[in-house]
Amino acid sequence: MVLIDTNVPDVAIWTFEARVTIIQHASPICINYQPVIQCKTLRQCAKIIDIVGGKESIIKGDTEIIRFQFLYKPEYIKEGLRIIIGEGRTRGIGYVSRIIPPSSFETNEMSCNLIELSSSNELIRSGCRTIKTIA
């Protein structure tokens, strides 16, 4: 069960963009780098799938808009939330600048597995917010 604010989109998202400032990192950060994202109670590894500014890598002191994709499960987040990225000695801070809603294919294929309950005629889509009752 998840309790969420009414302002949060009613679908968990896999991909989002964040404006991030790199505070500490020994080498350039490139696409496919996988830091841990922390945002309020959320803590999950995410992969950098794009650096929106057109750069191939970012270094300590750079501020860029980065597109992230969660690796394990979709999350409920909203624009404007502060995030911290980290992995080892790497540190970065920023905020969620844009949420990229999942396409209908991603919603159906990535995380919504139908589970039939034998005691009743309910179907629940695990990983999603959709609950259906069959009459």
Chain segment 86-120, per-residue pLDDT in tens:
888 889 999 999 999 887 445 444 444 444 444 44
Instruction: Report if residue 110 sits inside a domain.
Output: no
Q: What is the pTM of this model?
A: 0.70
Structural domains counted in the chain: 1
Separation of alpha carbons 118 and 58, rounded Å: 52
Instruction: Report if residue 49 sits inside a domain.
Output: yes
State residue 48 phi and psi, 5-degree precision: -75, 115
Instruction: Report if residue 76 sits inside a domain.
Output: yes
3-class SS at 134? coil
Chain segment 6-40, per-residue pLDDT in tens:
776 567 899 999 999 999 988 889 999 999 999 98
Q: How many CB atoms lie within 10 A of CB 68?
A: 26
Separation of alpha carbons 53 and 117, rounded Å: 48
Instruction: Report if residue 7 sits inside a domain.
Output: no
